[in-house]
Structure 1
Amino acid sequence: MNFGKTLFAQLMEFVPWTSFARIVARHGGDSGVRNLSCTEQFRAMAFAQLTYRESLRDIEACLLANQTKLYSMGFRAPVKRSTLADANEARNWHIWEELAMLLIRRARKLYCNDSFGVDLTNTVYALDATTIDLCLSLFPWAPFRTNKAAIKLHALLDLRGNIPAFIHITDGKTHEVKVLDALSFEAGAFYVMDRGYLDFGRLFTLHQSGAFFVTRAKRGMNAHRVYSMKVDRNTGIICDQRIALDGFYISQDYPEQLRRIRFKDPETGKTLVFLTNNTTLPALTIAALYKSRWQVELFFKWIKQHLRIKRFIGNSENAVKTQIWCAVATYVLIAIVKKELQIDASLYTLLQILSVSIFEKNQLQQALQGAAYIPEQCGAANQLNLFNF
């Protein structure tokens, strides 16, 4: 059935355009604009993400090849690569950051009741960072090594739905632990992170906010055992202890006791030592929480493979951050559509379908569900029979 709207136009209906207009007005994004509004700029950048376009020329050529459908997709005129490049360079990247965060808040409400494999009612976040390599001659504002540039993408992933609750972009030299200073900790939530975030002063700030952390201990950590609790070694738990930090400065950074759990993974045979400030959860649950941290690694791997954030269509800091935030907004938008339309397929499958059928004019739910789609019953069943004998 032809609904008169392309799949792309139907997808864009899930964007809260009224709220986006307020964001644009607050930053003056459309001030003096004649050809490409912020709305059209986001549509063009989302189109590039959904169809795997690698350059400005690709975006221009593909949209121009479907010129008769552009108006129904939300474009007043064909998109020129020079105009899009200027918009990415000049318009404040915070516009796209605020749009992405708006979509993130909506997505987290939709996924708040999802399970992530651990029987726990608390919100659980996984914190990590990934490095995106750049060319130093093209991106001199992002120094990393002597002959290399890079940016770091820091993400705080809500494990219920794998929705990023916080994203921070820095140059490659910035250490991961510094992102803890930019976080507002949620009381009662768990923050799972690797050893790179083991800074006891910052972890004590997290502890004082009423939140919990789960991380791994470093070798040679200066601490002593206060007492030990009974454990069942058949479960893989070797010891469950309360410890106090030694040393003048480190004991001042974290003056209270910590919980140390030594766990032998039955699958790999590797022994892991966890640190946490939570004293009530079973030791196996703490181990399971740390294991769930792997989801943030998979998230980074997924977005690097399926979103356009490794090759950039602009060289300035503003253009790079604009592209990353538009990619994040597109990712979250697909997650919202998946949940609201109750589609069982993975995000990867949805992106693959949209990449080859974005200009089609059939129902969005039917296109994404394929053979599993069951059309709604129309009102013809209530129609009286003209020849009722």
Structure 2
Amino acid sequence: AFKFPAGSIIVFDKGYVDYQWFAQLTHQKVSFVTRLRPKTVYQVKSSRNVLATKGIIADECIELSSAHAKKRGSPKLLRRIEFYDTDKKRTFEFLSNNFHLAASTIAAIYKDRWKIELFFKAIKQNLKLKSFLGRSRNAIQTQIWIALIAYLLVNFAKHMAQEEWSVQRLLRIIQVNLFERKLLRSLFVPDKKWRKQEEPQLRFFL
């Protein structure tokens, strides 16, 4: 299990709900932000004033009252924040054990999680990073770093490519020519005849 230093803030999807873990994080003074699962049973203990201009609909101190939550040792009190996202045109309910940050900050923290999710989704789609060759922390981090470096290099090469070429198309071209010793420029701008004296200007080979 991961260990986080006191004062950390972790964000995760509602699929990772574990009430016993919530209690452990709270005891370790680690804040968390997640989504409140639909049909969660709780009692509102108190409410705070909200700023509707920032999309906050409700900011409440709640106690989970389901038998499962109590059996798993859920924290006595948690914070429920209801937020309306103007970009997605929908309402979200967040659950947190942090009572110090502003409700709008809690919502912004979870919104940043979406950016991270989109980032890794792009890596999975473009670099086929769907499984790991090793299970140790070092092996996983190494493979992710290699994928990131490859992705950055391809994005850099995109500047040399013809207009309207996507990163996905560049990756397909590289895959087809993976075992050929060719200049990247000759692959990405195939319609132009490069003179021999221009070749030393670019030393990126496959």
TM-score strictly above 0.5: yes
Task: Verify: 1:291 aligned to 2:111, yes or no.
Answer: yes
* 8 Å CA contact retained: 2:22, 2:75: no
Give the structure 2 partner of residue 273 of structure 1: 93
Task: State how 1:203-352 maps to structure 2 within 5 Å.
Answer: 203-252=22-71, 253-309=73-129, 320-321=133-134, 327-333=143-149, 348-350=154-156, 352=158
Aligned-residue offset at 1:256 = 2.1
Number of the residue aligned with 2:191: none
The 3 A distance-change label for structure 1 pair 270 and 208 is same
Distance 1:285 1:245 in 2: 23
How far off its partner does 1:255 sit?
Answer: 3.4
Aligned equivalent of 1:161: none
Q: Whole-Å Cα distance in 1 between the matches of residues 157 and 31 of structure 2?
A: 35
State the match for 1:171 in structure 2: none
Alignment check: 8 A CA contact 1:223 1:244 kept = yes
Q: CA deviation at 1:332?
A: 4.9
Query: So what's the TM-score if we normalise by structure 1?
Result: 0.37
Query: Does structure 1 conserve the Cα–Cα contact (< 8 Å) formed by 2:26 and 2:75?
Result: no
**Residue identity matched to 1:262:** E
Give the secondary structure class of the aligned counterpart of 2:134: helix
Matched with 2:16 is 197
* Aligned residues of 1:308 and 1:327 also touching (Cα < 8 A): no
SS of the aligned residue for 1:191 comes to: strand
CA deviation map 1:264-313 (0-9, x unaligned): 11223211110111111111111111111112322222222332435x9x
Do the aligned partners of 1:215 and 1:275 also contact (CA within 8 Å) in 2?
yes
Whole-angstrom distance in 1 between the partners of 2:147 and 2:52: 43
- Deviation, 1:251, is 2.5
Instruction: Report 1 or 2 for greater relative contact order, CA contacts < 8 Å, sequence distance ≥ 6.
Output: 1
Q: Which amino acid aligns with 1:349?
A: N
Alignment partners' CA distance in 2, 1:198 and 1:245: 13
State the 4+ residue runs in structure 1 displaced beyond 4 angstroms.
322-326, 332-335, 351-355, 360-364
Q: For the structure 1 residues 308 and 198, does the alpha-carbon distance in structure 2 shift closer, same or farther, using more than 3 Å as the test?
A: closer
Query: Whole-Å Cα distance in 2 between the matches of residues 298 and 214 of structure 1?
Result: 18
Which segments of 5 or more consecutive residues in structure 2 lack a partner in the other structure? 161-173, 175-183, 186-198
Aligned residue type for 1:243: I
Report the TM-score when normalising by structure 2.
Answer: 0.67
Unmatched runs of 5 consecutive residues or more in structure 1 = 1-181, 336-345, 368-389
Provide the C-alpha distance between the structure 2 equivalents of 1:347 and 1:274, rounded to a whole number of angstroms.
Answer: 38
Code of the residue aligned with 2:145 in structure 1: it is A
Aligned to 1:386: none
Contact 2:42–2:62 (CA<8 Å) still a contact in 1?
yes
Contact 2:129/2:147 (8 A) holds in 1: no
